[in-house]
Amino acid sequence: MKAVLKLALAAVLTVFAQTGRAADAALPEVFQHPATAQELATLLSAVGKTTRAAAALRGNFIQRKYLHELPQPLLSSGQFLVARGAGVDWHTQKPFDAAVLLTPQALIQRGADGKQQRVDASQQPGLAAVAQVFDALFALDIDKLGQSFTLFGQKDGKDAGAWLLGLTPREPAFAKVIARIVVSGATEPKLITLFEASGDRTEIELAGVSAQAALADADRQRFQ
């Protein structure tokens, strides 16, 4: 049984894989401002109740992935749907058409040819954790984020009501993959930046985010 558990352990760690190379990017200023969950709630007061209480959030994204080996970022864009508790539907339209459905149970990939590839969460348990982090990130669920991350926050000078949220993983193994996360926004999250421990960086710019009080049946079905 030991070996089986070792396997399970390996899979859990998979999430937090990649050997750590220190991030080159200078530490964003927000990480000099530790905050409690309560302070953040005040800071993020501009975020409407509709967003926080939403059953689902949908919108468009532009993703810029900065590999430390490449001078220019890898660009992609498309639409997303975050269904709270159910999962994330990540539909990339450019530069290729592909969709990823990430649920606590499985990762289902669908390519342009319509072929599906399914990876069960029981075979790669980290998936479930990722689905949950995304869930909390998009809905700005501070309490939930506080369980997995140390929290930082400050006002973003430019606009009234604008804020910066900084997150560093509590889990040492998680920190080996994701060094820190910065989210900025005002009435809703606008830019999410994932600083990977390898030195790579992913920026996700959100636009046209709309909150839905209930998940449409057609969408619910997709997450089953």
Partner 1 sequence: MSLARRFQLWSGAVALLLAVFAFDVVPHFKLETNILALLPPSETDVVVDRALDRFSDLLGRDVVFLIGAADFDSAKRIAAQFAATLQGSPAFSKLRFQVDTNYLAETSDSYLPYRDGLLSTRMRHWLAAGDDAQLLGAAQQALYSPAAFLRRSGAGDDPLNVFGDFLSQASMASGRLSLRDGVLTTSTTAPAREYVMVSAVLAGDAFATNEQDLARPVLADAIDSARAEGATVAGAGFILHSIAAAGLARHEIDLFGGIQFAGLLLVLWWVFRSGRMLWLSAATLAVGVVAALTVSHYVFAKLQVLALVFCSNLAGVAIDYSIYYCADQFRTPGRWRAADASSHIGPAITMSCAATVLSYALLAVAPFPGLRQGALFCCIGLAAAYACVMAWFPRWVMPAPLAPAQRTTDRFERLLRVRERIAGRPVRWLWPLLVLFIALGLTRLHFVDDIRILQPDTPVLSAEEEQVRDLVGNLPDGRFFLVRGSDPQDVLRKEEQLTARLDELINGPTHAAASYSAVSQALPSLARQQENHQLLAEHVFAGKDGGLLAGFMKQLGFDDAAIAQRKQAFAGSKPLTPSEWLATPASEPYRHLWLGDIGGSYASVVTLADVHDVAALQAAARGVPGVRVVDRVREISGLLKRYRQRAMVLVAIAAFASALLLALAYGWRRGFRLMATPVAACLATLAVFGFTAVPVTFFHIVALHLVMGLSMEYAILLSIAELRSPAVLLSATLAAALALLAFGLLALSSTPFIHSLGISVSIGVLFGYVFALLVGTLAPDRSAARGAGSR
Residues at the site binding partner 1, with contacts judged by CB under 8 A: 1-19, 63, 65, 67-72, 74, 76, 88, 90, 92, 96, 98, 100, 102, 107, 109, 111-113, 115, 117, 122-130, 134, 170-174, 176-178, 194, 196, 198, 200, 202, 204
Nearer to partner 1, 93 or 212 (CB): 93
**Percent helix, strand and coil across the chain, each rounded to 5?**
30, 40, 35
What is the smallest separation between the CB atom of 151 and partner 1, expressed in angstroms?
16
Is 50 in a helix, a strand, or coil?
helix
What is the smallest separation between the CB atom of 29 and partner 1, expressed in angstroms?
24
Neighbours of 157 (CB within 10 A): 7
What is the smallest separation between the CB atom of 23 and partner 1, expressed in angstroms?
13
d(CA 52, CA 211): 9
d(CA 174, CA 18): 10
Phi and psi based region of residue 72 (left: phi greater than 0; alpha: psi -120 to 50; beta: remaining): beta
Nearer to partner 1, 163 or 174 (CB): 174
Nearer to partner 1, 41 or 98 (CB): 98
Residue with tokens 């970022």: 73
What is the smallest separation between the CB atom of 130 and partner 1, expressed in angstroms?
5
Nearer to partner 1, 35 or 204 (CB): 204
What is the smallest separation between the CB atom of 17 and partner 1, expressed in angstroms?
5
d(CA 84, CA 9): 27
d(CA 97, CA 110): 9
Quick one: which of 115, 79, 93 has its CA closest to 219?
79
Contact 125, 105 (CB under 8 A): no
Nearer to partner 1, 142 or 178 (CB): 178
Nearer to partner 1, 24 or 69 (CB): 69
What is the smallest separation between the CB atom of 141 and partner 1, expressed in angstroms?
17
